[in-house]
Amino acid sequence: MPTHTTRLPRSGEVPGVHSVFLREEQFESNFREGLYIEDSLEFAYMPGIGIYYGYPREQMDLLKKNGFCSSPVLTQIARRVFYMCGCDVNWVHLECDDKDSCSKLVS
């Protein structure tokens, strides 16, 4: 499931497959319209790298229908998916000590 983000695509990434890449204004407009499960823009913002990530509410329908999804989300979002979906959710939490590698996982 692609998340929405305001970062630029990396080499080889396909828009709509790896992420939905948006301008900041469009992301904020989508947030005001309630399209994301994040509680606040502050929660969606990654201050260390200056970009937004949002998990679309419409993805909940796909999760309920298919019973499976894969998405790079924070633990807090995985918990929210669990409660909103009402189904079993298993996730793998990745950590790394290398700052460069971590920024690649997050962005």
Per-domain boundaries in the chain: 3-106
pLDDT at 65: 75
pLDDT at 105: 59
What strands lie across the sheet with 3-5, from one edge to the other? 19-21, 3-5, 51-54, 45-46
pLDDT at 30: 96
All residue ranges of the chain with pLDDT < 50 are: 107
Q: Which two tokens stand for residue 107?
A: 């962005």
* Residue 67 CB contacts under 8 Å (≥ 6 apart), including other chains: 87
pTM score:
0.67
- Mean pLDDT estimate for the chain: 78
CATH of domain 3-106: 3.30.63.10
* Calpha distance 92→90 (Å, rounded): 7
pLDDT at 90: 65
**Cα distances (angstroms) measured from residue 82 to each of 1, 11, 86:** 15, 32, 6
Whether the CB-CB separation of 15 and 32 falls below 8 Å is answered with: no
